[in-house]
Amino acid sequence: MIRSEMNEQGAPAADAEAAVECYLAAVTAQLAGSARLQTGIAAELRSGLLDAVDAHQSAGLPRAAAARAAILEFGDPAAVASGFRPEIAARMARRVSVAILVTGPLVGALWLATAAASRLAPDVRLAGLPLVAAAVGMTAWSAAAAIAATGRPTRWLPIRPRLAPTAAAVAGFSAVTADALGLVLLSVQASVSPAHLAVALAAAGAAASLARILLARRAACHCLAIRATLA
Amino acid sequence: MRAEALKGHLDGILLAVLEQGPCHGYAIMEALRERSGGQVDLPTGTVYPALHRLERAGLVKANWSTAGGRRRRVYELTRAGWRALDSERGAWREFSAAVTALLQPAPLAVSPS
């Protein structure tokens, strides 16, 4: 059947480029991830497809038929997209986890400085800090797991594609929890003993935590959405 | 030979193609077809995600380069890629020797009579 199509003549060469673009659009329409990532994938596939078109044309096919043969050779757009999905999920999970691990110590340093400069109420010190420490520990552990699950250990271990976005989402929500706990402790301290609070540092810590809550929550939701696209 | 038959061996095969030198996606696919005498017939589009996976694992590195007015992403083995290729080869030799031995027709049992 392919052979008989290949023998058709006549379609203008511009059709070949249009057919290639149409195929690429069908692939990228089924991909999650940033526009930049999709453009990069499409650019790489485009050069491969055009190489394949050239090869079929050199073998004697008219350009439009060569494009059809190249597209058949590349395979079902859905299959190609599903091959890329775990890669996109891994990149996303890694980026989110690195961002969480980098921003964590910055926000944490502000809160530690606030705590050091204030005289903390006993409730805050005894009940609050262990909770924050647990949330911070969970954040760091799951972000590190997501980074490990998308890097070198994939050489030796069969790691399921859903693991990394799951761990990154857990890291994101744990970071939200840690920051929210920081804000709760701040409000407790402000209401119990406002005189013993380093206000400027506390305000900086609160602003940093609020920003991180918004960003980490959004990133965690993205990771869950990408996780849902994986088989 | 379809994708399912190659499952588990595609990574090693791609590394073996790149042993010859840096190569872009379509040339890798052509080399696969040529070196397998046309036996390997994967959809070309599925080779690219596999290359991205190898890149993420640090076994290959990729760079954009322009030749003949076309920008292509060219892959080459990293040091870890060379080591992985060696160990894939060793593992395959052991596996294929064992399976070959197992698939040999068993010598007919001669019963004393």
Q: Are residues A121 and A221 in the same domain?
A: yes
Q: Are residues A204 and A161 in the same domain?
A: yes
Burial of A187 (0-12, 13-18, 19+ CB in 10 A): exposed
Q: Are residues A52 and A99 in the same domain?
A: no
A81 in any annotated domain: no
Contact A88, A31 (CB under 8 A): yes
Count of structural domains within chain A: 2
Cross-chain Cβ contact A74/B25 below 8 Å: no
Query: Nearest C-alpha of chain B: how many angstroms from A132?
Result: 33
Domain boundary among A41, A75, A109: A75
Q: So what's the pLDDT on residue B113?
A: 57
Cα dihedral A189, A190, A195, A197 sign:
positive
DSSP states of B12-45 as a string?
HHHHHHHTTS-EEHHHHHHHHHHHTTT-----GG
Cross-chain Cβ contact B56/A87 below 8 Å: yes
- How far is the C-alpha of A99 from the C-alpha of A88, rounded, in Å? 17
CA atoms within 13 A on the CB side of A6: 15
Q: B91 at the A interface (CB within 8 A)?
A: no
SS3 labels along A155-166: HCCCCCCCHHHH
Cross-chain Cβ contact A52/B59 below 8 Å: no
> Measured between beta carbons, which residues in chain B are less than 8 angstroms from residue A73?
43-44
Q: Are residues A65 and A105 in the same domain?
A: no
pLDDT mean across residues, chain A: 90
- How far is the C-alpha of A102 from the C-alpha of A171, rounded, in Å? 12
Q: So what's the pLDDT on residue A49?
A: 95
Give the model confidence (pLDDT) of A42-87 as tens digits: 999 999 999 999 999 999 999 999 999 999 999 999 999 999 999 9
Burial of B88 (0-12, 13-18, 19+ CB in 10 A): middle
A217 in any annotated domain: yes
A80 in any annotated domain: no
Q: Are residues A105 and A27 in the same domain?
A: no
A107 in any annotated domain: yes
- How far is the C-alpha of B42 from the C-alpha of B37, rounded, in Å? 13
Which CATH number covers residue A120? 1.20.120
Which residue bears the tokens 């920051």? A179
* pTM of the complete model: 0.84
Cross-chain Cβ contact A47/B49 below 8 Å: no
Domain boundary among A42, A75, A108: A75
Q: Are residues A67 and A95 in the same domain?
A: no
Which of B46, B59, B75 to mutate to probe the A interface, most A CBs <10 Å? B46
Domain span at A95: 86-227
Domain boundary among A29, A55, A75: A75
Which residue bears the tokens 């990394």? A164
A57 in any annotated domain: yes
Q: Are residues A183 and A211 in the same domain?
A: yes
A99 in any annotated domain: yes
Give the model confidence (pLDDT) of A99-126 as tens digits: 999 999 999 999 999 988 888 888 788 8
- How far is the C-alpha of B101 from the C-alpha of A8, rounded, in Å? 51
Q: Which residues of B27-39 are buried (b: 16+ CB within 10 A; e: fewer)?
A: bbbbbbeeeeeee
A214 in any annotated domain: yes
> Measured between beta carbons, which residues in chain A are less than 8 angstroms from residue B84?
155
A4 has pLDDT over 70? no
Query: Nearest C-alpha of chain A: how many angstroms from B58?
Result: 6
Q: Are residues A101 and A42 in the same domain?
A: no
Q: Are residues A99 and A166 in the same domain?
A: yes
Q: Which amino acid is at A220?
A: A
For A12, phi then psi, to 5°, come to: -65, 155
Q: Are residues A71 and A91 in the same domain?
A: no
Q: Are residues A102 and A57 in the same domain?
A: no
ipTM: 0.86
Cross-chain Cβ contact B26/A48 below 8 Å: yes
Burial of B107 (0-12, 13-18, 19+ CB in 10 A): exposed
Q: Are residues A101 and A50 in the same domain?
A: no
Q: Which residues of A154-186 are buried (b: 16+ CB within 10 A; e: fewer)?
A: bbeeebebbbbbbbbbbbbbbbbbbbbbbeebb
